């Protein structure tokens, strides 16, 4: 007898397989990225070379997310998910062979990072758009939380393990470790059981098959035209739906102002407030710890029937915490007082990130039709990713001209203003969306 993910036992099995594979792949790739950064700094001593490694990991995701979403809606998502992991394993294996034959070089490192980022983009969209095909609707929050737990645990463990192993292993061996992690994830992906695809999607997939053989140029032109049409259709779908449109606006602005934490906090903590590098490292870990703790907590908490309420509450609390971050700068705390003051604040901020992110994911999963899910999640990831570099550049320039306390205060106030402005729109569109879903389910 075949069990589909609508069966709770099948959902739990899929969640376990996905969690195990995600943890293995994140741990391997995070260790590799960490060691690559150390290697480049040791070999070149160049900040610009190190910055290139960051761009190699960022840019492909920003550029390709919308197209990955289109592809996720055009092809079999199970194959896309497995193929992305398998391609990552092959990339790292080939990189190891090239280094073994030719020796280590920056072009090999940069190429491997770019290709891994491309594969990670397609994998991420495939996972996001497949969640409703892997678990039942009541398990979305648990699945999303465990997905985040695997990522957070991998990112926390990777620097520790990589730092220890780097004393004994050369960089190319970490390529094999990364390949092994992706291989484990590929095997786990092959064991996942997907629900049958909706008839509308399978019909569209069949219609996209060209009749007879066509010249290569015509086939490429046909595919390019179909991608453009699907991309435009997905964008129009997101704009048509008030709740998705409101969430996209919120995601854009909140990500923009949240970048202040990543840029301003390191600067003011070390340069202005006089914290040691060890103290700042602990504070960075507290942010990750907050994310991990709340992710674990959300795996056991009951899934909210109205995700809009925790989103609004989480955003309001986040704005208030940003305002609180400026207090040590305004009241001239000592370095030790600042350190102990920031520890609980950063744990709370990390927790609030999950309080906001997980309900957003649950809400989008439950309200977007299957045939549009890939494109909408591609749009969401593209918006969230593209705003970060712009924010980093802007805040970096502002730090040279404006006190960090002012930037934190303005960012916190801006988060509160955006939340207040969009609050009514989110609530009203959520009510309309629930009514639409009830009508659709009654008709089914």
When pLDDT is averaged across residues 101-128 and rounded to a whole number, the result is 88
Let me know the angle formed at the C-alpha of 165 by 164 and 168, rounded to the nearest 5 degrees. Answer: 115
Question: Cα(185)–Cα(26) distance, rounded to whole angstroms?
Answer: 9
Residue tagged 């569109």 (tokens): 429
Name the pLDDT band for 196 (thresholds 50, 70, 90). Answer: confident
Does residue 55 surpass a pLDDT of 70?
Answer: yes
b/e map 173-194, b = 16+ CB within 10 Å: ebbbbbbbbbbbbbbbbeebbe
pLDDT at 2: 47
When pLDDT is averaged across residues 279-295 and rounded to a whole number, the result is 82
pTM over 0.75: yes
Express each pLDDT in 134-176 by its tens digit.
Answer: 888 778 888 888 888 888 787 778 877 887 888 788 888 888 9
The two counts, helices (H) then strands (E), for the chain are: 15, 0
Express each pLDDT in 314-338 by its tens digit.
Answer: 889 999 998 999 898 888 888 888 8
**Rounded mean pLDDT of the chain?**
80
Environment class of 160 (CB within 10 Å of its CB; exposed 0-12, middle 13-18, buried 19+): exposed
Query: In the 8-state DSSP scheme, what is residue 372?
Result: G
> Which stretches of 268-334 are DSSP H helices?
277-300, 308-325, 327-331
Does residue 282 surpass a pLDDT of 90?
Answer: no
Residue tagged 């699907």 (tokens): 230
Q: Which of 193-202, 385-394, 405-414 has the highest mean pLDDT?
A: 405-414
CB count in 10 Å sphere of residue 438: 10
Name the pLDDT band for 211 (thresholds 50, 70, 90). Answer: very low
pLDDT at 86: 94
Does residue 203 surpass a pLDDT of 50?
Answer: no
Let me know the angle formed at the C-alpha of 257 by 254 and 260, rounded to the nearest 5 degrees. Answer: 140
pLDDT at 66: 85
Lowest average pLDDT, out of 45-59, 178-192, 339-353, goes to: 45-59
When pLDDT is averaged across residues 82-87 and rounded to a whole number, the result is 92
pLDDT at 248: 79
- C-alpha distance from residue 423 to each of 61, 203, 308, 368 (Å): 30, 39, 9, 20
CA 261 to chain CA centroid, Å, is 17
Question: Cα(240)–Cα(234) distance, rounded to whole angstroms?
Answer: 10
Name the pLDDT band for 312 (thresholds 50, 70, 90). Answer: confident
Does residue 304 surpass a pLDDT of 80?
Answer: no
Which of 322, 334, 315, 320 lies closest to 273 in space, CA to CA? 334
């Amino acid at each position: 007898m075949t069990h589909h993910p609508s069966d709770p036992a099948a959902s739990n099995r899929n969640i376990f397989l996905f969690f195990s594979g995600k943890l293995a792949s994140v741990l391997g790739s995070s260790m590799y990225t960490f060691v690559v950064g150390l290697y480049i700094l040791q070999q070149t001593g160049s900040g610009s070379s190190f910055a290139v490694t960051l761009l190699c990991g960022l840019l492909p995701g920003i550029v390709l997310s919308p197209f990955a979403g289109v592809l996720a809606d055009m092809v079999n998502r199970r194959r896309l998910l497995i193929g992305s992991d398998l391609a990552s394993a092959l990339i790292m294996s080939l990189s190891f062979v090239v280094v073994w034959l030719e020796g280590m070089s920056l072009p090999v490192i940069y190429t491997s990072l770019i290709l891994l980022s491309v594969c990670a983009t397609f994998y991420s969209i495939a996972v996001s758009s497949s969640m409703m095909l892997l678990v039942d609707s009541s398990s979305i929050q648990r699945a999303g939380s465990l997905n985040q737990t695997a990522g957070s645990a991998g990112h926390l463990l990777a620097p520790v393990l990589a730092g220890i192993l780097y004393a004994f292993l050369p960089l190319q061996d970490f390529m094999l470790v990364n390949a092994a992690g992706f291989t484990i994830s590929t095997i786990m992906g092959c064991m996942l059981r997907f629900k049958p695809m909706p008839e509308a999607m399978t019909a569209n997939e069949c219609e996209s098959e060209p009749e007879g053989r066509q010249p290569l140029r015509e086939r490429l032109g046909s595919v390019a035209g179909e991608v453009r049409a699907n991309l435009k259709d997905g964008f129009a779908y997101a704009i048509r739906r008030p709740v998705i449109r409101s969430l996209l606006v919120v995601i854009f602005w909140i990500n923009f102002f949240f970048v202040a934490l990543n840029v301003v906090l390191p600067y003011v903590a070390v340069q202005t407030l006089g914290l040691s590098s060890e103290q700042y490292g602990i504070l960075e870990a507290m942010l990750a710890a907050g994310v991990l703790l709340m992710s674990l907590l959300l795996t056991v908490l009951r899934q909210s029937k109205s995700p809009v309420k925790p989103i609004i509450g989480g955003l309001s609390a986040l704005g208030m915490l940003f305002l609180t971050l400026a207090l040590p700068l305004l009241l001239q705390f000592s370095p030790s007082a600042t350190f102990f003051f920031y520890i609980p604040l950063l744990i709370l901020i990390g927790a609030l990130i999950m309080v906001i992110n997980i309900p957003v994911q649950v809400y989008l999963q439950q309200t977007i039709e299957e045939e549009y899910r890939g494109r909408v999640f591609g749009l969401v990831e593209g918006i969230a990713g593209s705003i970060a570099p712009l924010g980093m550049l802007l805040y970096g320039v502002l730090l040279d001209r404006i006190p960090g306390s002012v930037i934190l205060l303005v960012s916190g106030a801006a988060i509160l203003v955006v939340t207040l402005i969009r609050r009514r729109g989110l609530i009203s569109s959520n009510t309309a969306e629930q009514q639409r879903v009830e009508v659709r389910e009654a008709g089914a």
